[in-house]
């Protein structure tokens, strides 16, 4: 009971000492939803995009990396937009943009949440010790966190940065973990005749089936690797 209480008591202390961190966590939780609502309401603006120009192509990569890295849109919707606007040429674009967004989101998380580990060590060294014991399985945990359809990209970026996971590992293990659901969303964009139709294709039974599979894989992978590293 004491252990559980100490862990829960840590978070109010952290939010009190680091108010900017509190705002940053609220940002990555709320803004992607607000951005999704805005883009669905104003999707006609996307139709003006010139997908035939190389300048437009690289401009898309830059904008997409900033949009995902700053948590303005979810990666899933960004992949749908990429497939809808660019077709198959959009696949390398969204993967490159995703990689750049990883770096942006990671360093923002590091900037706003730099004191997490220090406070955790002071307030709950036992819990920090449990985290440190799992360093050996860090890569596998990153992969299974990324493949999960219920752990948002922006939140996991902040989490990895706050826990001082090396960026190199986040990229090496995180990008492959993110690819399956990103490609599924990308295909939904390619197969749709209009943007709203592309968004609706995410609710297709086959898509939902894949999402459930990814969810089960991620839960199993996180659980197994967490318990294995504890042993």
What are the tens digits of pLDDT across the range 60-95?
A: 899 999 999 999 999 989 998 888 888 888 999 999
In 3-state terms, what secondary structure has residue 34? helix
* Token pair recorded at residue 51: 């997908």
CA torsion sign, 176 to 147 to 70 to 169?
A: negative
In 3-state terms, what secondary structure has residue 73? coil
pTM score: 0.79
Report the pLDDT value the prediction gives residue 167, as an integer from 0 to 100: 93
Reported residue count of the chain is 231
CB–CB of 64/93 below 8 Å?
yes
Question: Which regions in the chain score pLDDT beneath 70?
Answer: 1-11, 49-52, 115-117, 119-136, 193-204, 206-207, 225-226, 228-231
Report the pLDDT value the prediction gives residue 5, as an integer from 0 to 100: 46
d(CA 95, CA 175): 8
d(CA 50, CA 221): 41
Tell me the HSE value of 109 on the side-chain side, using a 13 A CA sphere: 29
36: CB partners within 8 A, 6+ apart: 73, 74, 77
Report the pLDDT value the prediction gives residue 150, as an integer from 0 to 100: 84
Alpha-helical (H) ranges within the chain are 2-17, 19-41, 54-69, 75-86, 90-112, 116-123, 125-133, 138-147, 153-162, 167-191, 195-201, 205-230
CB–CB of 102/64 below 8 Å?
no
Task: Please give the torsion angle defined by the CA atoms of residues 62, 63, 66 and 69, in that order, rounded to the nearest 10 degrees.
Answer: -100
**What is the maximum alpha-carbon separation in the chain?**
62
CB–CB of 81/61 below 8 Å?
no
């Amino acid at each position: 009971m004491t252990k559980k209480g100490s862990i829960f008591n840590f978070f109010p202390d952290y939010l009190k000492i680091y108010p900017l961190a509190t705002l940053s966590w609220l940002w990555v939780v709320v803004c992607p939803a607000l951005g999704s609502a805005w883009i669905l309401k104003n999707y006609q603006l996307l139709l003006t995009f010139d997908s035939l120009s190389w300048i437009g192509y690289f401009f898309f990569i830059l904008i997409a990396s900033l949009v995902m890295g700053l948590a303005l849109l979810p990666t899933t919707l960004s992949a749908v937009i990429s497939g809808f606007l660019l077709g198959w040429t959009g696949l390398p674009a969204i993967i490159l943009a995703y990689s750049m967004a990883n770096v942006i989101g990671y360093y923002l998380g590091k900037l706003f949440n730099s004191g997490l580990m220090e406070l955790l060590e002071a307030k709950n060294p036992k819990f920090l010790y449990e985290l440190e014991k799992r360093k050996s399985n860090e890569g596998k945990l990153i992969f299974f966190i990324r493949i999960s359809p219920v752990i948002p990209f922006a939140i996991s970026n902040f989490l990895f940065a706050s826990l001082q996971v090396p960026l190199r590992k986040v990229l090496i293990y995180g990008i492959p973990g993110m690819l399956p659901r990103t490609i599924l969303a990308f295909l939904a964009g390619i197969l749709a005749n209009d943007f709203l139709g592309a968004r609706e294709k995410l609710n297709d039974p086959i898509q939902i089936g894949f999402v459930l599979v990814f969810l089960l894989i991620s839960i199993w992978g996180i659980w197994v690797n967490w318990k294995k590293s504890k042993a």
